[in-house]
Amino acid sequence: MRKNGRGELDLRPILLEPRVSKHAEGSCLVRFGDTHVLCTASVDEKVPPHVYGTGAGWVTAEYGMLPRSTHERMQREAARGKQTGRTLEIQRLVGRALRAAVDLRAIGPRTVTLDCDVIQADGGTRTAAITGAYVALVQAVRGIQKRRQLAQDPVKRSVAAVSVGIVAGQVHLDLDYDEDSTAEVDMNVVATGDGALVEVQGTAEGKPFPRAELDRMLDAALAGLSRLKELQEAALRTP
Amino acid sequence: MRKNGRGELDLRPILLEPRVSKHAEGSCLVRFGDTHVLCTASVDEKVPPHVYGTGAGWVTAEYGMLPRSTHERMQREAARGKQTGRTLEIQRLVGRALRAAVDLRAIGPRTVTLDCDVIQADGGTRTAAITGAYVALVQAVRGIQKRRQLAQDPVKRSVAAVSVGIVAGQVHLDLDYDEDSTAEVDMNVVATGDGALVEVQGTAEGKPFPRAELDRMLDAALAGLSRLKELQEAALRTP
Amino acid sequence: MRKNGRGELDLRPILLEPRVSKHAEGSCLVRFGDTHVLCTASVDEKVPPHVYGTGAGWVTAEYGMLPRSTHERMQREAARGKQTGRTLEIQRLVGRALRAAVDLRAIGPRTVTLDCDVIQADGGTRTAAITGAYVALVQAVRGIQKRRQLAQDPVKRSVAAVSVGIVAGQVHLDLDYDEDSTAEVDMNVVATGDGALVEVQGTAEGKPFPRAELDRMLDAALAGLSRLKELQEAALRTP
Amino acid sequence: MRKNGRGELDLRPILLEPRVSKHAEGSCLVRFGDTHVLCTASVDEKVPPHVYGTGAGWVTAEYGMLPRSTHERMQREAARGKQTGRTLEIQRLVGRALRAAVDLRAIGPRTVTLDCDVIQADGGTRTAAITGAYVALVQAVRGIQKRRQLAQDPVKRSVAAVSVGIVAGQVHLDLDYDEDSTAEVDMNVVATGDGALVEVQGTAEGKPFPRAELDRMLDAALAGLSRLKELQEAALRTP
Amino acid sequence: MRKNGRGELDLRPILLEPRVSKHAEGSCLVRFGDTHVLCTASVDEKVPPHVYGTGAGWVTAEYGMLPRSTHERMQREAARGKQTGRTLEIQRLVGRALRAAVDLRAIGPRTVTLDCDVIQADGGTRTAAITGAYVALVQAVRGIQKRRQLAQDPVKRSVAAVSVGIVAGQVHLDLDYDEDSTAEVDMNVVATGDGALVEVQGTAEGKPFPRAELDRMLDAALAGLSRLKELQEAALRTP
Amino acid sequence: MRKNGRGELDLRPILLEPRVSKHAEGSCLVRFGDTHVLCTASVDEKVPPHVYGTGAGWVTAEYGMLPRSTHERMQREAARGKQTGRTLEIQRLVGRALRAAVDLRAIGPRTVTLDCDVIQADGGTRTAAITGAYVALVQAVRGIQKRRQLAQDPVKRSVAAVSVGIVAGQVHLDLDYDEDSTAEVDMNVVATGDGALVEVQGTAEGKPFPRAELDRMLDAALAGLSRLKELQEAALRTP
C-alpha cells in the first residue's frame, strides 16, 4: 500500500492554483502532493537570434530548485556559478514540451519564458513543472491576444506530464521521492490532452526491462494524463 | 497619502508564517505587503575553515530572487553564471545581522545557513529577509537544543530590520518599490528587540542630506522595529 | 530512396575499429556512415565521493565534438568556458547506458571514464558513442581482470544504441543528419544484446505522435540493435 | 595611546599626491598612514546602456587590492576568476559616493571610470579610495572642460570619506588595521565638504550599540572630514 | 641510440594526410611518429573587431588535446571551464606562425580558423600542429581563390616547425615525450621554406646554456625544416 | 635618434628600488624608463601538489597590469573573470626564469610567489618584471636563511631580462612601447649574470628574419644584461 492509502494507479492530490504572481503575465503554483512548483510565464517583445526575422515567436523554459526545497540542502546554482546537467536537461525538456502546445508563428515575434522554480521537492518536479507551466503559458497567450489582434489562436493543444515506474515489480503512477529512489524503471511521459505523445523518456535504473513493461507503464501514464487535463481546464476556468 | 491609506510612519501589513517547509529545520514565509520572502534555516554538522577547531559554530545567509519576482523579468543568476554585486551585498548583510542574534560558541561546531529567496518583490526585500530569517533561525536553534544538550541558550537577542526614507521631503517608514524609486534618502536599520543598533546603512540617492534627517529617520525606524519584534514573538509562539 | 541506396530499415555502413589508442586502457573508433566517434576507456584507481567506501566502482562518460566535426564550425566548448546543455545531456545518457553493462561491485574501487569525442558528425553521434564505448569498456575491464584477481566477471551484458525516426511519414532506422533535421519524430533506443530496454527517449519534433508509431519505431530499432550486437562481438574478437 | 602618539580623534598622516600617472586623465596616490591607494580617472566617450540616449554621462568605480598589499598574501582575483563580495560592495560604494560630487548631465555623454587599486593596506582602504578618487575625478573633469565647451561646471561639491569606530569603549577616528580588527563598532562616513551626509554605514562587530554612540561617532567623523576637504583642495591647487 | 634506430639529427616518421574531413574547407592529419594532430581550416566570411573595416582578413588558431591523448588521462578543458595557460600559449604561437605564411590583405575580409586537435600525444604537438595547419590553410586559401576573384595569391611562403633539444649533452632533433622530459634545453623553431626564422623559443630546463649550443640547435632545426617543407609540398600535390 | 638622446644599444634609465613593501618578505619597484613594475616576493610554508613530499620547494610568479597602466584603459581581468592568454604566458615565463636562479631543493618545502604588478606600462614589462623579481626573490630567500638553518645557499646565480628588436632595419636594445609597436622583430632574452642563456624568445612581427639578425640581437641583449646584473647587485647591497 502506498502512502496515504493511494492506489498504484492513483495520482497524488493535485492542486493547480493560477494567478499567484502580482507581476507575471501568467502564473500557476502547482502541487503534486508535497512537490510544489511555482510556474510563471513572462512575455518579452523580442525573439532569440535563430527565430529573428521569421515573424515567428519562441517559447522557452528555465528550471531551478530552491536550495532547501530538498531533504538535504543543495548548493545554490547561482553561487556555484553554473547550472547542473540535470537542471539543463530538465529545462530543455520543459521548453520542448510546451512548444508542442502552441503555434509559434501565431504568437508573433515575441518570447514567452516559463520559469519553473521548485519551492518544495518530493519527486516528479519536472512533470509537475510541465503541467503547471501549461496553465501559466495559456494565461500569458490569452493576455497577448487581448492586447494584440492575433489572426489565429496560438494554443493548439493542451500538454501535461506525469511520471510512472516499476516499483517492487508493479507499475506505479506519479512516483514520490521515496518510490523514485527504489524504482527499477522510471519513465516520464508528456502527452497532449487527447493522448498523443510529445515525449517519452524511460530509463532502467537497475536492470534492463522487457518491452511489455514499457506498454503497461504507458497505459498507466495515459490514464493519469487524462485526469491532469481536466484539472488544467478547471484551473484555466478559475477567474 | 500612501497606498491603501497607510500613514507615513506605518508598516505595511506584515505576515510571518512559520514552519512552511516540509524539509528545513526552520522556516518562515514573511510578507511585508506585496514583498514575499521564503526564509529557511538549514543545520549542517560542519563549520567553515575560519571557525574549524575553535568549538564555535557559524551562521551564514544566502539570498536570491526568482527571475519573475520583479516587475520585469530578471536574468536568472544561475544561468548568468554569477551572483550580482547587489546579491552578494545583501547576503553579507543578512548573515552579519543574524550572527548578532546568537552566541556562536553556544551553538557548537555546526553551521546554520539561512536561505532567503524572494518569491515576489515590492521593495524592502532585504529587511523582510532579515526579519523572517530570525524566525527560521530560532526554530532551527530550538531544534538543535532538543537533539543536543547545549550548556547555554544560543539565542541572545532578537533581530529585525526595516527600511526608512525621505520621500517628497517627508520621513516614510517601510518603503514599497514605488516609494523606494523616488526616495531622496534610503536607509536600512537592523536593530535588536530592545532598540540597540546592529547595522545602519543610509544613502543619499540624489543630494546629500543633513544630519538632522538621519535622526528623524532613526526615530521612525526604531518605532517600526519595536512592532516587528512583537510579530516575531507571536510567530515563534505559533505551534 | 535513402542516400547510397539504403533501405528504410537498414543501418548505415558500421565500422568498429578497436585498439586505436597507444595510451588508453580500451579504445574504439566507431563509424556509423560519416559519423566518426573516437571512444577511449581510462581506468583510474579512485572512485567519486558518492561511491567511496562502498567497495564498488564507477563508470562515467564525457562527450565532446571537435569544433569542425560539424558542417558549420561550432565554438570550442573549452574556449566558451562551459559545456552546453546538449553535451551534458548526452554524456549523462552515455554514462547511464554503459553502467547497465557492468556490475559496479565486481569492478572494485576504481573508475572507468569513457571519453567519446566526435571527430566527424553526420547524425546519431550519441548512439554511435554508446555502441563504440561498449567495446572500449569491455577491453578496459578485461585489462583490469588480467592485472587483478576479480571474483566475478564485471561484464553482465552487452549494450548498444541506435536512432530511429519518422521521416515523411515512414519509420527510418539510423538517421543521418539530413534525415534527422526533417524527422517528425526522433527516438534513441539503448538496449542490451538480448533486446531488453535500457533507455528509450522519443521526442515529437513537430506534432505529437500516436502510440502506434512508438511501437513501429521500437520494432525497427530492436532489429538494428541485434545487428550492432554482432558487430560489437566481432570487434571484441579482433586481436 | 595610539601608534605614533596619535590622539583618539586624530587622522593618520594624510598625503594626496596628484598627477602620478603618465597615461590617466586624472590620478592621485593617496596615503592614510600605511594605507596607499592609487586612484586613476579614465574618460571614455561612451556611456553604459542605462544612460544611453539621455544626454547624460556616468561615473563608475572599480576597486582591487594587489595580492601582497596585505599582511598575508591574498589570492589574486583575476586568477580566482571572480571578484569577492567585499570587492563588489566597495566599488559600488565608491561609485555612488563619487556620483554625488558631480552633475552627470553636465558631464555629457561620456563615462569617467575611477580605478582604485590598493598598493599597500593598513585599514581604511575604502575611505582612502573615495578621498583620493575625488581628486582624480576633478582633474579628469577639468580636462574634459578644457577640450569641450561645457555649459556648466559638472563638479557640484567635494566628497571625502573617513572611518570611525568604538575601540575599547572609546570613539576612535580613522582606524588602522589593528584597531579595525578589535573595534566593537565600525562606521564609514562619506560626506560633502560642507558636512552633508552622502552615505553612512555603521556595523556592530560584536554586540549591538546604543544610538548615543552613533551620534558620538558622527561628531568625530565630520570633524575629520572637514580636515580631509582642506587637503583635497590643496592637492587640486598643486600644479 | 634513439628509439627505432633513429639518429640524433633524424626526424621521426612524418605523415601528412590531407583532406581527411568531410566538412572543413581544408584539413590535414599530421603524424610526427606517435604524435597525431588533426588540423582543420574553417573559412568564415567575418573578421574580428581589430581588423573590421580595413579590408584585410585574419588567420587564427585554436588548440586542444583529447583527454586521453596523453599517457595519463587529463581533465577535459571544457569540463574544467577554462583553457590552461599552456593551451593558450600554444594556440597563440600557432596563430602567429601561420599568419607569417599569408598576406592578410590578399585574403580579403574573412577569417580562417585553424583548429589543431591532438588525437594522440608523444611530444612535439605544437610543432606538428604548425606543420599540418599550413597544409590545411593552403587548401582553404585555394578554395577561397576558386570561389572569389582574388587579385593576388595570399600564400606568401611556406611555414613549418620542429623541436630540437640537448639530451644527455647532445643535440637531438624532433624530441619525443621521453626525450623531452629529460632534455636539458628545449627549443621550438618555426621557419619558412627557405630558412628564414619566424619564431624561436629556447628554454633551459635545468641549467642555463651557452650561446654556442643555441647555434648548434639552430643548425639541426633548419636541416629538419627543409625536409618538412618537401613533405608539405608533396601533401599539397596529393589530389 | 631615440627618445631622450638614447643610443641604439643603450638601456633606458633603470631604477631598482628595493624594500618598498611594508608586508612582503621581499620587494622591488623596478623602473625601465616609464615602465614601472612592483615586484613582491611572498613566502608560504606550503608547496604545490607536484612538489609535495619531495622535500624541495617551489618558486612561481603571477603578473597583472593595473587597468590604467596603459595608454588606453584595459578591462580589469578580475572583472572579466579570467586572465588573458598574454598574462598567463608572461607569468609562466617569469616563473621559469626565476626558478633558474635558485636551487629548489635548498629552499626546503616552501613556496616563494613573485607578484609582478605593472603600475605603469611603456614596453618591456615582462623583462622589467624578471629583473625586479630577482631582487625581491633574493631578499625573501635571505630572510628564510635568517629564520631557518639552511644547509646550502639556495641562490645559484643571478637572472635578468631585456628586450631587443629590429626597428627600421637596425638592432635596438630595450624597446619602449612606440618602438615595440613598429619593430620588425622582437626578442626577449633572459640570461644569468655570467651570460648563459635561460630563455630566448624571438618573433618576426612582419616578415621572417635571417639567422644573422638573431646573432646581432643576441650580442646587444647580452651587453645590456651585463649592465642589469650590476644594478641588481647594487640594489641588493642597499640596506
Per-residue pLDDT of chain C (239 residues; tens, 9 = 90+): 799 899 999 999 999 999 999 999 999 999 999 999 999 999 999 999 999 999 999 999 999 999 999 999 999 999 999 999 999 999 999 999 999 999 999 999 999 999 999 999 999 999 999 999 999 999 999 999 999 878 889 999 999 999 999 999 999 999 999 999 999 999 999 999 999 999 999 999 878 999 999 999 999 999 999 999 999 999 999 88
C-beta of residue E95 within 8 angstroms of C-beta of residue E62: no
Q: What is the pLDDT of residues A3-14, one digit of tens each?
A: 989 999 999 999
D2 touches chain B (CB under 8 A): no
Residues 179-198 of A with CB under 8 A from C: 191-192, 195-198
C-alpha to C-alpha distance for C208 and A238, rounded to whole angstroms? 28
- Our CA-based measurement puts residue D208 at a distance from the nearest CA of chain B, in whole angstroms, of 5
Return mean pLDDT, chain F: 96
Q: What is the mean pLDDT of residues A169-180?
A: 97
DSSP 8-state code for residue E133 = H
Name all chains with 3 or more CB-CB pairs below 8 Å to chain D.
B, F
In three-state form (DSSP H/G/I as H, E/B as E, the rest C), the secondary structure along chain D is CCHHHCCCCCCCCEEEEECCCCCCCEEEEEEECCEEEEEEEEEECCCCCCCCCCCCCEEEEEEEECCCCCCCCCCCHHHHCCCCHHHHHHHHHHHHHHHCCECHHHHCCCEEEEEEEEEECCCCHHHHHHHHHHHHHHHHHHHHHHHCCCCCCCECCCEEEEEEEEECCEEEECCCHHHHHHCCEEEEEEEECCCCEEEEEEEECCCCECHHHHHHHHHHHHHHHHHHHHHHHHHHHCC
C-alpha to C-alpha distance for B226 and B222, rounded to whole angstroms? 6
Q: Would you say the ipTM is above 0.85?
A: yes
List the one residue out of F166, F182, F184, F162 whose CA is nearest residue F174: F162
pLDDT at D150: 84
Helix (H) or strand (E) holding F30: strand F26-32
Name all chains with 3 or more CB-CB pairs below 8 Å to chain A.
B, C
pLDDT at C206: 78
* Number of neighbouring beta carbons within 10 Å of residue C232: 24
Residue spans of chain B under pLDDT 50: none
Name all chains with 3 or more CB-CB pairs below 8 Å to chain E.
C, F
Alpha helices in F191-210 (DSSP H): none
Q: Determine the length of chain D.
A: 239
Strands across the sheet containing E14-18: E14-18, E26-32, E35-44, E111-120, E58-65
pLDDT band at A150 (very low <50, low <70, confident <90, very high): confident
**Please, which residues have CB within 8 angstroms of residue F163's CB and are 6 or more apart in sequence?**
F123, F124, F127, F173, F174, F175, F180, F186, F187, F188, F189, F221
| CA Rg value for chain C | 18
Q: What is the pLDDT of residues A221-239, one digit of tens each?
A: 999 999 999 999 999 998 8
Q: Which residue of E has its CA nearest to C70?
A: E23
Phi/psi for D39 (5° steps) reads -110, 125
The 3-state DSSP class for residue E202 equals strand
Q: What is the pLDDT of residues B38-84, one digit of tens each?
A: 999 999 999 999 999 999 999 999 999 999 999 999 999 999 999 99
* Number of neighbouring beta carbons within 10 Å of residue B236: 17
Return mean pLDDT, chain E: 96
In three-state form (DSSP H/G/I as H, E/B as E, the rest C), the secondary structure along chain A is CCHHHCCCCCCCCEEEEECCCCCCCEEEEEEECCEEEEEEEEEECCCCCCCCCCCCCEEEEEEEECCCCCCCCCCCHHHHCCCCHHHHHHHHHHHHHHHCCECHHHHCCCEEEEEEEEEECCCCHHHHHHHHHHHHHHHHHHHHHHHCCCCCCCECCCEEEEEEEEECCEEEECCCHHHHHHCCEEEEEEEECCCCEEEEEEEECCCCECHHHHHHHHHHHHHHHHHHHHHHHHHHHCC
C-beta of residue B69 within 8 angstroms of C-beta of residue B120: yes
C-alpha to C-alpha distance for D11 and D160, rounded to whole angstroms? 13
- Specify which residues F203 forms β-bridges with: E199, F186
C-alpha to C-alpha distance for E134 and E145, rounded to whole angstroms? 16
Q: Determine the length of chain E.
A: 239
F54 touches chain E (CB under 8 A): no
Tell whether the torsion through CA atoms of F29, F35, F41 and F42 is positive or negative.
positive
Residues of F in contact with E199 (CB under 8 A): 201-204
C-alpha to C-alpha distance for D208 and B96, rounded to whole angstroms? 11
F74 touches chain D (CB under 8 A): no
Q: What is the mean pLDDT of residues A77-96?
A: 96
Q: What is the pLDDT of residues A181-225, one digit of tens each?
A: 999 999 999 999 999 999 999 999 878 999 999 999 999 999 999
Question: For the purposes of burial, counting CB atoms within 10 Å of the CB of F69, is it exposed (0-12), middle (13-18) or buried (19 or more)?
Answer: buried
C-alpha to C-alpha distance for D200 and B204, rounded to whole angstroms? 9
pLDDT band at A25 (very low <50, low <70, confident <90, very high): very high
**Please, which residues have CB within 8 angstroms of residue D36's CB and are 6 or more apart in sequence?**
D29, D30, D118, D119, D120, D128
CATH 3.30.930.10 fits C3-73+83-237, yes or no: no
Residue spans of chain F under pLDDT 50: none
Q: What is the pLDDT of residues E74-128, one digit of tens each?
A: 999 999 999 999 999 999 999 999 999 999 999 999 999 999 999 999 999 999 9
Across the A:C interface, residue pairs with CB atoms under 8 Å apart total: 89
* Whether pLDDT at D13 is above 90: yes
Nearest CB neighbour to F42, from listed D73, D83, D117: D73
C-alpha to C-alpha distance for E227 and E131, rounded to whole angstroms? 11
* Whether pLDDT at D207 is above 90: no
Q: What is the pLDDT of residues F217-227, one digit of tens each?
A: 999 999 999 99
C-beta of residue F168 within 8 angstroms of C-beta of residue F132: no
C-alpha to C-alpha distance for D63 and D86, rounded to whole angstroms? 10
Chain-centroid distance of CA A75 in Å reads 23
pLDDT at B229: 98
User: E148 vs D213, which has greater pLDDT?
Assistant: D213
List the one residue out of C175, C171, C177 whose CA is nearest residue C214: C171
Q: What is the mean pLDDT of residues E135-161?
A: 94
* Whether pLDDT at A151 is above 90: no
What are the angstrom distances between the C-alpha of C89 and each of A85, A188, C121, D206, F204? 6, 16, 17, 49, 45
**Please, which residues have CB within 8 angstroms of residue D217's CB and are 6 or more apart in sequence?**
D164, D165, D166, D171, D185, D187, D189, D202
What are the angstrom distances between the C-alpha of A208 and each of C51, C94, C99, C199? 22, 15, 11, 8
For residue E106, what is its C-alpha cell? 590578399
The domain ranges of chain F are 3-73+83-237
Strands across the sheet containing D58-65: D14-18, D26-32, D35-44, D111-120, D58-65
C-alpha to C-alpha distance for A95 and E221, rounded to whole angstroms? 57
Interface contact D76-F115, CB threshold 8 A: yes
pLDDT at B207: 86
pLDDT at F93: 97
In three-state form (DSSP H/G/I as H, E/B as E, the rest C), the secondary structure along F111-130 is EEEEEEEEEECCCCHHHHHH
C-alpha to C-alpha distance for A144 and E231, rounded to whole angstroms? 66
Q: What is the mean pLDDT of residues D49-72?
A: 97
Give, to the nearest 10 degrees, the angle between helix E125-147 and helix E211-237: 40
Helix (H) or strand (E) holding E106: helix E104-107
Interface contact D79-F73, CB threshold 8 A: no
For residue B34, what is its C-alpha cell? 506585496
C-beta of residue E188 within 8 angstroms of C-beta of residue E90: no
* Whether pLDDT at D149 is above 90: no
Alpha helices in chain C (DSSP H): 77-80, 85-99, 104-107, 125-147, 177-182, 211-237
- Our CA-based measurement puts residue D73 at a distance from the nearest CA of chain F, in whole angstroms, of 7
Interface contact A197-C218, CB threshold 8 A: no
Residues of D in contact with F22 (CB under 8 A): 34, 120, 122
List the one residue out of D184, D39, D209 whose CA is nearest residue D112: D39
- Is D86 marked within a binding site? yes
The 3-state DSSP class for residue E87 equals helix
% residues pLDDT > 70 (chain D): 100
C-alpha to C-alpha distance for E157 and E191, rounded to whole angstroms? 10
Interface contact B67-A115, CB threshold 8 A: yes
pLDDT at F151: 81
Q: What is the mean pLDDT of residues D54-61?
A: 97
Mutate to test the interface with E, among F93, F186, F201, F216 (most CBs of E within 10 A): F201
Q: What is the mean pLDDT of residues E199-226?
A: 95
pLDDT at B144: 95
Beta-strand ranges (E) seen in chain E are: 14-18, 26-32, 35-44, 58-65, 111-120, 159-167, 170-173, 185-192, 197-204
C-alpha to C-alpha distance for F137 and F143, rounded to whole angstroms? 10
pLDDT at D151: 81
Residues 5-44 of A with CB under 8 A from B: 21-24, 27, 34, 38, 40, 42, 44
Q: What is the pLDDT of residues E48-69, one digit of tens each?
A: 999 999 999 999 999 999 999 9
Q: What is the mean pLDDT of residues A32-42?
A: 98
For residue B115, what is its C-alpha cell? 536561505
